[in-house]
Amino acid sequence: MQPAEANPRQEAMAVLSHAAAGRLAELWSAWPDKPAFHKVRGPETGLVMVRARAGGGGNPFNLGEATVTRATVRLESGEVGHAYCLGRDGDKAVTSALFDALFQRDAATVEAQVLAPLRAELEAADDRRRDETAATKVDFFTMVRGDD
Amino acid sequence: MYVAVKGGEAAIANAHRLLADRRRGDRNVPALRIEQIIEQLGLAVDRAMGEGSLYDRELAALALIQARGDLIEAIFLVRAYRTTLPRFGYSRPIDTGEMKIERRISATYKDLPGGQLLGPTFDYTHRLLDPSIAEGGAVDTPVARDSEPERAPRVTDLLGHEGLTEDDVNEPQDEIGDLTREPMEFPLSRDRRLQALARGDEGFLLALGYSTQRGYGRSHPFVGEIRIGEVEVELDIPEFGFAVNLGRIRVTECQMVNKFKGNAKVPPQFTRGYGLVFGQAERKAMAMSLCDRSLRARELGEDVNHPAQDEEFVISHSDNVQSTGFVEHLKLPHYVDFQGELGLLREMRAEHEAEAGDDAYPEAAE
């Protein structure tokens, strides 16, 4: 995810793109007084060519493509929200774009109702996976030879 | 005589309907669902995705079902699908040094910082078939051990090792080759080779990697590091003024380290081969890194004597969709070509017999 000093909106969009589609739908249905909006663009699915670096840190090369879905919405109050996320889920992109638009109107509420829980869930999932991996760490020990 | 090929329409339609039936199989057996394939045949999904060169696990799983488990057919379906979508752009290079590690091992450094993390591996299993899987019994939850988030730098960055290991080359480039957008022209730059290898056929690259170990272009390899895990993908959107994080993808990276005796310009050192593949695909990443290194022969002033060192040979034949297209087209109607060849052979045979004398091939005289 983005470092803490990143643009807050950029960080919010990152939290949204990491969320599962079903979870975003739940959060949207729980959102009180949903604003009127219209779709300015999309949702549309396309490709992003994922780049990597030779040797991990060297010159870039094109690794392969990934599906990405984007959407742009405009709230009746004027804010324009965007979303770009991996995969082909149009509903996820539209919901993410709505939360991005709402974030510009009322960042504190979106933070409390949407971003904070999503961030905590992602962190918990990452922690669990990391702990499961940590249990497979090899603890080397040295065989003591009997001749001294 | 020219014979128009027409009239197969009904046969083709019925064949495809039969295919759908055979694909579904016994209707008393429940139909497969995409989620089952993703969850329980994950490495097949990853291979279809990697060689299909399109990161999308649902699509790869659908392709596997549609192809009745034929991996190359599934890869073909994935490649065909990608041609239907517009390109939004090129991501920033992913940073494998910031990976959420799920497996990470080194065969060269026992005590690497962060340790040897075996992860979900087939290594050290006994390769005995397990009937309990067929019975569908309950599976234990994994053991967890408290850990703290920590950055896991790549071994190759961590240990320059007295300058004895080659550094990554990082220089300004005019352009980054994209084989999906330009015709292939030899010699290829390393970026283009890596793109081709990343989607190359695992079996082909594995065999070539093996050939280098058996003496056909020796490269004295060691696994510096293999790591598997998720990395962030970011896309610069000019109108936003910042990079948008699109989410995470899982990749497998292999850093192969190879003894190199040096030449007039470069002192003896460890050189490196690089493998990077979508999904969990360790064998493929290893094979790719062996091939990447052997294809650097010319750059490193080595003799190019063996198939795995010949980039035109390797890269021209590494794509299994191209390979299967050309091999499988042979089964399509070639009636006219064959009639032509038959006529030619008859003439040649007649001339041959005339030269050899009348009774050399009495049975062929018709």
Q: Is the pTM of this model over 0.90?
A: yes
Domain assignment present for B66: yes
Pair B108, B238 in one domain? yes
A85 pLDDT above the threshold of 50: yes
Q: From the list B91, B192, B232, which residue is nearest A51 (CB)?
A: B91
Count of helix runs (H) and strand runs (E) in chain B:
13, 6
Substitution target from B47, B58, B84, B91 for chain A, most A beta carbons within 10 A? B91
Pair B114, B68 in one domain? no
- β-strand B269-278 against B242-260: which pairing, if any? antiparallel
Chain A residues within an 8 Å CB radius of B171: 59
Domain assignment present for B282: yes
List the 27-86 stretch of B: residues with Cβ below 8 A of A. 50, 53-56, 58-59, 82, 85-86
Q: Which two tokens stand for residue B198?
A: 């990343």
d(CA B204, CA B317): 8
Distance (Å) from the C-alpha of residue B363 to the closest C-alpha of chain A?
59
Q: From the list B88, B102, B251, which residue is nearest A70 (CB)?
A: B88
Pair B52, B157 in one domain? no
The reply to whether residue B59 touches residue A88, judged by beta carbons under 8 angstroms, is: yes
Phi, psi dihedral angles at A4 (to 5 degrees): -60, -30
Element (H, E) at A132: helix A116-134
The reply to whether residue A133 touches residue B119, judged by beta carbons under 8 angstroms, is: yes
Substitution target from A10, A84, A139 for chain B, most B beta carbons within 10 A? A84
Q: From the list B53, B168, B179, which residue is nearest A54 (CB)?
A: B168
- Decide: A1 and A18 in contact? Cβ < 8 Å: yes
Q: Comparing C-alpha atoms, which of B40, B39, B79, B43 is closest to residue B63?
A: B79
Q: What are residue B278's DSSP bridge partners? A: B251
- Decide: B349 and B364 in contact? Cβ < 8 Å: yes
d(CA B157, CA B35): 38
Model confidence pLDDT, tens digit, residues B40-65: 999 999 999 999 999 999 999 999 99
The reply to whether residue B242 touches residue A10, judged by beta carbons under 8 angstroms, is: yes
Chain A residues within an 8 Å CB radius of B272: 55
- How is A81-113 classified by DSSP, letter by letter? EEEEEESS-HHHHHHHHHHHHHHHH-HHHHIII
Pair B105, B31 in one domain? no
Q: From the list A6, A46, A137, which residue is nearest B116 (CB)?
A: A137
d(CA A115, CA B60): 31
- Decide: A74 and A37 in contact? Cβ < 8 Å: yes
The reply to whether residue A61 touches residue B242, judged by beta carbons under 8 angstroms, is: no
Pair B238, B112 in one domain? yes
Distance (Å) from the C-alpha of residue A143 to the closest C-alpha of chain B?
15
Query: B213: domain range?
Result: 96-119+150-161+182-322
- Decide: B306 and B216 in contact? Cβ < 8 Å: yes
CB contacts < 8 Å between A and B, how many?
232
Q: What is the pLDDT of residue B156?
A: 80
Q: Which two tokens stand for residue B301?
A: 């002033």
Domain assignment present for B341: no
> ∠ at Cα A98 (A92, A103), nearest 5°?
125
Pair B103, B30 in one domain? no
Amino acid at A30: A
Chain B residues within an 8 Å CB radius of A66: 54-56, 91, 233, 246, 249
d(CA A121, CA A49): 29
The pLDDT mean for chain A works out to 92
- Coil, helix or strand for B61? helix
Q: From the list B82, B115, B177, which residue is nearest A138 (CB)?
A: B115
Distance (Å) from the C-alpha of residue A91 to the closest C-alpha of chain B?
15
Q: What is the pLDDT of residue A1?
A: 46
Q: Is there a cis peptide before residue B183, judged by omega within 30 degrees of 0?
A: no
Q: How far, rounded to the nearest angstrom, does the alpha carbon of residue B138 sit from its chain's CA centroid? A: 34
Q: Which residue of B has its CA nearest to A62?
A: B195
**Which of B35, B60, B82 lies at the terminal end of a domain, its last residue?**
B82
Q: From the list A50, A58, A61, which residue is nearest B249 (CB)?
A: A50
Pair B242, B277 in one domain? yes
Q: What is the pLDDT of residue B365?
A: 47
- Coil, helix or strand for A118? helix
The reply to whether residue B246 touches residue A85, judged by beta carbons under 8 angstroms, is: yes
Substitution target from B100, B184, B194, B246 for chain A, most A beta carbons within 10 A? B246
d(CA B58, CA B79): 14
Pair B280, B213 in one domain? yes
d(CA A138, CA B117): 6
Task: Give the torsion sign (CA, B28, B34, B39, B43).
Answer: positive
Question: b/e map of B43-68 (b: 16 or more CB within 10 Å)?
Answer: ebbbbbbbbbbbbbbbbbbbbbbebe
The reply to whether residue B245 touches residue A14, judged by beta carbons under 8 angstroms, is: yes
Mean pLDDT by 10 residues, chain B (366 residues): 69 95 97 97 98 98 98 97 96 96 92 89 94 90 91 77 79 88 93 97 97 89 96 93 96 94 84 96 98 93 93 96 95 88 93 79 52
Q: What is the ipTM of this complex?
A: 0.93
Pair B24, B63 in one domain? yes
List the 237-266 stretch of B: residues with Cβ below 8 A of A. 237, 240, 242-249, 251, 253, 255
Q: How far, rounded to the nearest angstrom, does the alpha carbon of residue B343 sit from its chain's CA centroid? A: 43
Amino acid at B340: G
Number of domains in chain B: 2
Q: What is the pLDDT of residue B263?
A: 82
The reply to whether residue B245 touches residue A138, judged by beta carbons under 8 angstroms, is: no
List the 103-162 stretch of B: residues with Cβ below 8 A of A. 103, 110-111, 115-120, 142-147, 149, 154, 156-157
Q: What is the pLDDT of residue B7?
A: 75
- Listed by start position, the domains of chain A span 8-124
The reply to whether residue A82 touches residue B274, judged by beta carbons under 8 angstroms, is: no
Contacts of B38 (CB under 8 A, 6+ apart): B45, B57, B58, B61
Domain assignment present for B176: no
The reply to whether residue B179 touches residue A10, judged by beta carbons under 8 angstroms, is: no
Q: Which two tokens stand for residue A30?
A: 């729980």
Pair B296, B211 in one domain? yes
Q: From the list B87, B93, B100, which residue is nearest A52 (CB)?
A: B93
B6 touches chain A (CB under 8 A): no
- Coil, helix or strand for B13? helix
